Amino acid sequence: MALLGQTQSLLQQQKLSPQQIQMIKLLELPAALLEQRIKQEIEENIVLEEDLSSEERADEQPQQISVEEYLREDDAPSYKSRVNNYSKDDRPRSVQISGGRSLQESLVEQLGFRNLSERDLRLAVFIVGSIDNDGYLRRDLQSVSDDIAFSLGIEASVEELERLLDIIQHLEPVGVGARDLRESLLLQIENQPLDAPAKELARKILASHFEEFVKKHYERLMTRLSVTEEEFRAAVQEIQRLSPKPGNLFSEDGVESAPYIIPDFILDYHDGRFDLSLNSYNIPDLKINRHYLEVIRNMVAADGRVSEKDKEAIAFVKSKIDSAKWFMSAIKQRHDTLMRTMQTILDYQQEYFKDGDRSRLRPMILKDIADRTGLDVSTISRVVNSKYVQTSFGIILLKSLFSEAMQTQSGEEVSSYEIKNLLQECIDEEDKRRPLTDEQLMNMLNERGYCIARRTVAKYREMLAIPVARLRKEI
């Protein structure tokens, strides 16, 4: 039987304080989420509020302050989380954009013009609710039938749902309600008058030879269909006019809605000088509510004594004030760290930021910026992750500026972006009837002095979202 005993050992552990953890989390947030985080803190901390004043106020570092020091203050200090160079009239205002009808709402409206019974209408509306924004019904009808039985208490067979789905597939936009790409394209081509041989051939290809068409076995298809190259090319052009995502064609104003990016930095270049600033759009300024300092003053007697019942309230308010100061200091430190890192990146990649020419990008890894800023690599990683900079040539993801160094035959170090650009140029200039294989691309780059392996060519090609040679083939 093992004996129980006690031992004493000395261990050294590294733990992050709550303030450090808070700072790390704030550092990771992009501009869009920082505003939400600040508003959340305002809701949770009663002494913290948004500062609507336009006066400049000095920043203060967090420190442990006793209740007596709070009471000796003539007025509560205010803290700024960023530099504010705007007057009340100059502050940017967010523009509210109203949205139109959704695809599902449009389909339900069209169903109202069909002569459907109450039961059929309820079932059809449920099916419409299962259609995604691309216009596809990606669930099998048996699962939809089970959900209808559970949600609506209606027993509907797969055959009944198939009949209603056929009605939905004849609504606008054409091709909606399809189960896969082939069915969607067929719905669109069959909705057109097949008055031309090219359209009839396109329908035949989609109906009977879709897999071979997707894999671009064009010669085999032309032989099997007994058509000439010109006839086959005309049919392919008809198919290319169809939409692979019919749901995206629906919009009240004819323009597909798309998410937008809020940049974290704004960089201007004029007269040979850079002007870098942190985007403080919609980021509120913070201050401590003076009302709670008055509450503490009223709880303290003239001789400085505090009653037992008020000690807990004073301790609570004091903890909230300390928390508010730490939070505002963390916002200030986030501002400084982001600006310090971005300025270092700007200094490192000045030639690129002048005109956005990617061929001028220098090889740069996280450690390069960490060494120059004196910050840890993990901190630099958090700063550049999901952060964007707005320039005169577009909005750039900071993470995309980092690339590995590759060595040419002459010993010169170049960025991997330069090789990607050359790879893109080679593919753009290739004969689409006989696309270049990865090995041929490797040989072309090696001839230009870039030592690169075939697997690296394949990796860069995939990063550029370029398919393999067989799928790039055209007729």
Q: What is the pLDDT of residue 470?
A: 79
Mean pLDDT by 10 residues, the chain (475 residues): 70 62 79 84 84 53 48 45 46 46 85 89 91 89 90 89 91 89 90 84 90 86 89 89 81 49 88 87 78 73 65 79 85 90 92 84 88 90 88 88 73 74 86 85 85 85 85 77
Residue 470: DSSP 8-state: G
CB contact set of 275 (below 8 Å; sequence gap of 6+) = 267, 268, 269
* Intervals of CATH 1.10.10.1330 along the chain: 102-178
Phi, psi of 394 (to 5 degrees): 130, 175
Locus of tokens 């336009």: 54
Q: Tell me how many degrees the CA angle 469-471-474 measures, rounded to the nearest 5.
A: 95
What is the number of other CB atoms lying within 10 angstroms of the CB of residue 196? 13
Q: Which long-range contacts (CB under 8 A, 24 or more apart) does 409-416 make?
A: 409/449, 409/450, 409/451, 410/449, 413/363, 414/363, 414/450, 415/361, 415/362, 415/363, 415/364, 416/363, 416/460
Q: What is the pLDDT of residue 98?
A: 44
Q: What is the pLDDT of residue 435?
A: 87
Laid out side by side, the sheet with 388-391 consists of 273-278, 265-270, 388-391, 394-397
Three-class HEC string of 146-176: HHHHHHCCCCCCHHHHHHHHHHHCCCCCCCC
Can you tell me the distance from the alpha carbon of 244 to that of 180, in angstroms, rounded to the nearest whole number? 10
Torsion angle of the four alpha carbons 474, 192, 169, 216, in this order, in degrees rounded to the nearest 10 = -10
* Intervals of CATH 1.10.10.60 along the chain: 405-475
Q: What is the pLDDT of residue 246?
A: 86
For residues 317 and 296, the answer to whether their CB atoms sit within 8 Å is: yes
Quote the distance between the C-alpha of residue 165 and its chain's center.
34
Architecture in CATH of 102-178: Orthogonal Bundle (1.10)
Q: What is the pLDDT of residue 341?
A: 93
For residues 388 and 264, the answer to whether their CB atoms sit within 8 Å is: yes
Architecture in CATH of 405-475: Orthogonal Bundle (1.10)
Q: Which residues of 294-328 are buried (b: 16+ CB within 10 A; e: fewer)?
A: eebeebbeeeeeeeeebeeebeebbebbebbbbbb
For residues 413 and 407, the answer to whether their CB atoms sit within 8 Å is: yes
